[in-house]
Amino acid sequence: MRRGWSTASCWAWATLDSLKGPTEWGEGTHGVGPWEGTWPTEERYDPELLENGDRRNVVDAYRYWTREAIVADIDKRRHPLHVAIENFENDANIGTVVRTANAFAVDTVHIVGRRRWNRRGAMVTDRYQHLMHHPDVHSLLVWAIRNDLTVVAIDNTPGSIPLETARLPRECLLLFGQEGPGITPEAAEGALMTCSIAQFGSTRSINAGVAAGIAMHTWIRQHGDLSHAW
């Protein structure tokens, strides 16, 4: 029994332990060691990972797979959801957006404005996520029209519709602003609607990466097929 814990707490802990998710099963060892036994012959397996072990932060189903094989597999079931973030001043949140987009099998993350962004927060997930750069909002909007995507801006500006009650389009591009200025007027004008996330405290806004996670998950709740989730 864990020191200082009641029997009931220990039971709850053991139950929770057995309910661990796919990214937690290798906890403690972080990943897997070299492949034991006869190596699989399928092309998706990476000989270097089989030889040395796979310490990457990937779900267990993709252990020892090559990066290309993982991307190709996600490509078979990516959602018709795109996200875009304006990157004219501060790129601190883009890594978070990319990581969350990868988790939700978003089709593509669009970076609008500056091409450079700090990849640290992406925790290497950008290797598995399609990314596209657009020099300005106009180019993004033209691209969205050509690809039959409905643009929904996400910001808490006057006149916005509560995201909590809005119906998001299935073929959708969610567009986020950046810290400070928020969404540009051009982006808001080009969108079908602007949706806001309800707040109740003193701060004017939440972090753009957090807002992106909430909005992406709202789309997943409306259009995702949970039988395809890990």
Ligand X SMILES: C[S@@+](CC[C@H](N)C(=O)[O-])C[C@H]1O[C@@H](n2cnc3c(N)ncnc32)[C@H](O)[C@@H]1O
Q: Which positions lie near ligand X, rule CB under 6 A? A: 154-157, 176-179, 182-183, 196-197, 199, 204-206, 208, 211
Q: Give the shortest CB-113-to-ligand X separation in angstroms.
A: 13
CA 102 to chain centre: 4
C-alpha–C-alpha distance, residues 129 and 107, integer Å: 8
Nearer to ligand X, 191 or 197 (CB): 197
Nearer to ligand X, 169 or 177 (CB): 177
Give the whole-angstrom CA distance, residue 8 versus residue 49. 42
HSE (side-chain half, CA atoms, 13 Å) at 91: 17
Q: What 3-state class would DSSP assign to 128?
A: helix
Q: How far is the CB of 195 from ligand X (least distance, A)?
A: 7
Residue nearest to ligand X (CB): 177
The DSSP line for 17-35 is HHT--TTTTTTTT-SB-SP
Calpha distance 96→27 (Å, rounded): 22
Nearer to ligand X, 6 or 199 (CB): 199
- As measured in angstroms, the least distance from the Cβ of 160 to ligand X is 7
Q: Which is nearer to ligand X, 149 or 188 (CB)?
A: 188
- Expressed in percent and rounded to 5, the helix, strand and coil fractions of the chain are 35, 20, 45
Q: What is the rounded CA–CA span in Å between residue 180 and residue 205?
A: 10
Minimum distance, C-beta of residue 63 to ligand X, in the bound complex (Å): 35
- For residue 190, the minimal CB distance to ligand X (Å) is 14
Query: Closer CB to ligand X, residue 128 or residue 176?
Result: 176
Kindly tell me which of 67 and 217 has the beta carbon lying closer to ligand X.
217
State the Cα–Cα distance between residues 122 and 43, nearest whole angstrom.
27
Contacts of 193 (CB under 8 A, 6+ apart): 152, 153, 160, 161, 166
Give least dist CB 197 to ligand X, A: 4
